[in-house]
Structure 1
Amino acid sequence: MGTVTPFPATRGKPEQIGFERLELNRILDLYGRMVAAGIWRDYAMEFGHDVAIFAAFRRAAERPEIRIEKRPALRNRQGMWALINEQGVVLKRGHELGPVLAPVERRLMKVVED
């Protein structure tokens, strides 16, 4: 018989923070609608040790118009989700992704009405 070697499990803090499938589906759905409206043209994702970031750009050669950040360390405080504008100002923070994305979705509704 062979020797069974256990898979190394990380205890405590994970090595990399990422988006779950439902979270990413919600974010990419919003991104697709903003692309269809002609507002956004590019996006980037960054996965670090303490934060996962989705950044949306109007044009590829500039700072992101918005950043959606997931910081699980803030889950029990002000909430792990944050919506940050181009200047770095936190527009919305919360425990749920839906309400944090609401200002961007309202903006999309205004674009469709025009």
Structure 2
Amino acid sequence: MPEPVTESREVPLEALGGNAVAKRKIIVANGVSLEVLVFRNQSGDICAYQNICPHLGAPLDAGTGKFFDKSGEFLMCKFHQAMFEPSSGLCTFGPCEGHSLKAVPTRIEDGVVLIG
């Protein structure tokens, strides 16, 4: 069962402990609710993207809470298996190849990742 999605702009840094672990959050930006995935990439940098595949506008995880392929190397859309580079959000394989996920800015303050 996927972890519940919470409405918050904060993720404790320790919750993003390992590679291929992403957290879903709902943020409100300009009056619009957005579901965002937040994770550490293989270099240890914090990344955040809207949970929307550029191909059909569907959630990458299809509501499962799982964003990475089996290898843990790429983000993968569960609908058409499009593969995305975690560091850039660029689709490298699939129906939206050459398009990118929409990045969401983050910053770290006092051990907490602030989204948006």
**TM-based fold match above 0.5:** no
TM-score scaled by length of structure 2:
0.29
Higher relative contact order (CA 8 A, sep 6+): 2
Bigger fraction of residues in strand:
2
Bigger fraction of residues in helix:
1
TM-score scaled by length of structure 1:
0.30
